[in-house]
Amino acid sequence: MGESKQYFYVLHTKDDTFYGGYTTDPVRRLKEHNDGVGAKYTRLPKRRPLHMIHLEEFSTRSDATKAEASFKKLSRTQKENYLTTHRATAQKLLTKLFKENEHVSDKRKTT
């Protein structure tokens, strides 16, 4: 019996904020956010379009939601440092899941 994969993801919004979330299907979830039917925070037109800039895979929902909760507690600078540190691994997974690069973005600011 195979377990489904669990993901912690980070979106970069049009108004230059980060949104962290949990999903079992990153492709579907990004579409929902960009269609305005995702989380309340990302429904605002000023936040869209959104770009998935970070993705981590976990074997349990508990581990993925713990990563999400930990990320949300970080300051903006700490979030930027986290994303920079994990960039290579996250980009490999994003590229693998999103066959078309139009969904993958690296539009993070470094300051």
| CATH, residue 92 | 3.40.1440.10
93 pLDDT above the threshold of 70: yes
pTM of the model: 0.85
User: 59: left (phi > 0), else alpha (psi -120 to 50), else beta?
Assistant: alpha
| Average model confidence (pLDDT) across the chain | 88
Name the pLDDT band for 48 (thresholds 50, 70, 90).
very high
Looking at the domain assignment, is residue 110 inside a domain? no
16 to 4, 49, 68, 109: CA distances (angstroms):
32, 11, 19, 8
Looking at the domain assignment, is residue 109 inside a domain? no
Looking at the domain assignment, is residue 1 inside a domain? no
Extract the tokens encoding 60.
């349990």
67 vs 9: CA distance, rounded Å = 9
Extract the tokens encoding 110.
């470094």
Range of the domain at 81: 6-103
**Number of domains the chain is built from:** 1
